[in-house]
């Protein structure tokens, strides 16, 4: 690039001189005056004209026209640069991390010595580095009680030093910090001590909070109704003994979330029906606080998609791997605040992986997930809002992927149940509703298949009678709600 700059320099100078000759005399005079002798007005004129004319070697723009020899030389140099760039290896994967350091010694900070009126910490007896090197010992910077900020540092250091420790309302155990050996990466060991305290079986809070959230996930309400607040401003537990037992069992099971999920989902409480036949129970507990029946609960956005894929037989249970982008209408991608960021995955097995692998972007949500109350990825989510709006039914009924899954479900039914319509209906009920169809439901379904005929849709939305019936079943409340 420097060689190219040398070649282009005379041409740039000639172009600028030609342009300058067309400007008023006062501007020409400003450029002819040496820089150290220019008046403020001349400096302003030079800056404005230079900015407009592109009199800056770094200013991007069209190529300058050169003679044939210089053009060839420049092209040869550009070809060499392009060839060298191709040899540059791709950037390795990166991730943001955190490590110990002393912010007071950050390079080029306004409070650094020699940067103009900053604080020289060595005057206060401080010695340190912004980033200690491997193999060095590391002394954590002292923190002072009631810190007032850098501007009053001289007063701040007169306050007592705050030693690291846990909240005394949670634990009377003093904080035990093991300083790592010098051979390891320099660190104070404080974050590890905090992590071990949080994950300790003696911590009275972590296991309770986790089990309350798992309970809330299954039943739509926590034993403590405020999942983010276990303090005095939060709600009292509806069943303190149950919460304590679940927390203790969670620790006893080695903090295994899977074991606790299995325990809850095989319990009598989880097996309760949502329908009830005795008004006395409703009179005693109308809000179902004590779960005498299973609460009517809609599946979450991601689980609806997984349930549809599971019913059709298309769900890919492969674990791990990169995220995928569900298909969305092109008009939505084009109208997004940031273009080119939603790379729709081709129709391949990875497209049918569980929704936990679906890419989530803050500025563009997958429409189906959005309409079914997927939380805002920009904010912390204490609990998911649950709404019932017409656009949810319309989304399921008109979603093109739903038509694809309806056809795949119909094909699965035909493979497994054969050509007998009654057998097809019974199998569809078992797959979609996890129950047997009643005689009345079988007859109504057979009448539907007999009288329905073609769906009347054209192209990719066309469905056979069985696929049309599967489409209806996948859109029903019984499929979308846990009962």
Torsion angles phi and psi, residue 174, rounded to 5: -65, 150
Pick left, alpha or beta for residue 426 (phi over 0 → left; psi -120 to 50 → alpha; otherwise beta): alpha
DSSP letter for each residue of 239-296: -HHHHHHHHHHHHHTTS-HHHHHHHHHTSHHHH--S----HHHHHH-TT-TT-SSPPP
Buried residues in 392-420 as b, exposed as e (16+ CB within 10 A) = beebbeebeebbbbbbbbbbbbeeebeee
Looking at 88-203, list the stretches that DSSP marks H as alpha helix, in order from N- to C-terminal side: 153-156, 190-198
Give the C-alpha distances (Å, rounded to integers) separating 265 from 259, 301, 425, 470.
Answer: 10, 20, 28, 28
Please state, in angstroms and rounded to a whole number, the distance separating the CA atoms of residues 308 and 298. 14
Q: Nearest-CA neighbor of 311 among 224, 407, 385?
A: 407
Looking at 290-329, list the stretches that DSSP marks H as alpha helix, in order from N- to C-terminal side: 301-312
SS3 23: coil
SS3 358: strand
Q: How many residues does the chain have?
A: 483
270-305 pLDDT, tens per residue? Answer: 988 888 877 888 888 888 888 888 888 899 999 999
HSE-up (13 A, CA, CB side) for residue 23: 19
Cβ atoms of residues 480 and 304 within 8 Å:
yes
Q: Nearest-CA neighbor of 211 among 203, 223, 196?
A: 223
Torsion angles phi and psi, residue 31, rounded to 5: -70, -35
383-399 pLDDT, tens per residue? Answer: 888 888 899 899 888 88
Q: Classify residue 411 by its DSSP letter.
A: H
Please state, in angstroms and rounded to a whole number, the distance separating the CA atoms of residues 239 and 269. 14
pLDDT in tens, the chain (483 residues): 788 888 888 888 888 888 888 888 898 898 889 988 999 888 888 888 877 665 444 444 457 888 888 888 988 999 999 999 999 998 888 888 777 776 666 665 554 444 334 556 666 666 666 666 776 666 677 777 765 555 566 666 777 888 777 777 766 666 666 666 655 667 777 888 888 888 888 888 899 999 999 999 899 889 999 888 887 888 999 999 999 999 999 999 999 999 999 999 999 999 888 888 778 888 888 888 888 888 888 999 999 999 999 999 999 999 988 888 887 777 776 666 655 566 666 667 778 899 999 888 777 788 888 888 888 878 888 888 888 889 989 988 888 888 889 999 999 999 999 889 999 999 999 999 999 999 999 999 999 888 876 545 555 556 788 999 999 999 999 999 887
Q: What is the pLDDT of residue 55?
A: 47
Q: Nearest-CA neighbor of 192 among 98, 102, 95?
A: 98
pTM: 0.67
């Amino acid at each position: 690039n420097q060689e190219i700059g040398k070649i282009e320099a005379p041409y740039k100078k000639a172009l600028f001189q030609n342009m300058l000759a067309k400007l008023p005399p006062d501007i020409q005079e400003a450029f002819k005056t040496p820089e150290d002798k220019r008046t403020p007005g001349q400096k302003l004129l030079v800056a404005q004209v230079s900015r407009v004319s592109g009199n800056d070697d770094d200013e991007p723009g069209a190529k300058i026209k050169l003679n044939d020899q210089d053009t060839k030389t420049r092209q040869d140099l550009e070809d060499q640069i392009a060839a060298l760039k191709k040899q540059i290896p791709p950037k390795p994967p990166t991730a943001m991390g955190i490590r110990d350091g002393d912010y007071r010694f950050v390079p080029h900070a306004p409070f650094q010595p020699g940067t103009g009126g900053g604080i020289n910490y060595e005057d206060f007896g401080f010695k340190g580095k912004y980033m200690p090197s491997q193999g060095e010992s590391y002394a954590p910077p002292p923190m002072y009680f009631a810190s007032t900020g850098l501007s009053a540092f001289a007063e701040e250091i007169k306050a007592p030093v705050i030693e690291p420790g846990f909240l005394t309302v949670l634990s009377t155990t003093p904080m035990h910090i093991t300083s790592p050996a010098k051979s390891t990466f320099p660190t104070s060991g404080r974050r590890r001590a905090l992590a071990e305290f949080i994950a300790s079986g003696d911590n009275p809070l972590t296991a309770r909070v986790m089990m309350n959230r798992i309970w809330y996930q299954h039943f739509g309400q926590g034993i403590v109704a405020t999942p983010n607040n276990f303090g005095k401003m939060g709600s009292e537990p509806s069943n303190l003994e149950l919460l304590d037992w679940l927390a203790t069992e969670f620790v006893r099971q080695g903090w295994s979330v899977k074991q606790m999920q299995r325990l809850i989902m095989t319990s009598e409480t989880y097996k309760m029906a949502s329908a009830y036949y005795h008004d006395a129970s409703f009179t005693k507990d109308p809000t179902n606080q004590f779960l005498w029946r299973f609460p009517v609960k809609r599946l979450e956005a991601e689980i609806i998609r997984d349930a549809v894929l599971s019913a059709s037989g298309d769900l890919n249970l492969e674990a791990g791997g990169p995220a995928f982008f569900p298909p969305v209408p092109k008009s939505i991608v084009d109208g997004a605040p940031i273009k080119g960021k939603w790379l729709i995955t081709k129709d391949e097995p990875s497209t049918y992986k569980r929704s936990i692998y679906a890419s989530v972007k803050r500025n563009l949500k997958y429409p189906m997930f959005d309409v079914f109350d997927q939380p805002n990825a920009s904010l912390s989510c204490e609990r998911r809002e649950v709404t019932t709006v017409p656009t949810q039914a319309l989304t399921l009924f008109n979603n093109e992927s739903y038509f694809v899954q309806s056809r795949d479900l119909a094909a699965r039914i035909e493979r497994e149940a054969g050509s007998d319509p009654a057998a097809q209906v019974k199998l569809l009920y078992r797959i979609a509703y996890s129950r047997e169809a009643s005689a009345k439901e079988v007859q109504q379904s057979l009448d539907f298949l007999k009288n329905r005929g073609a769906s009347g849709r054209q192209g990719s939305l066309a469905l056979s009678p069985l696929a049309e019936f599967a489409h209806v079943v996948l859109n029903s409340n019984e499929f979308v709600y846990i009962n």
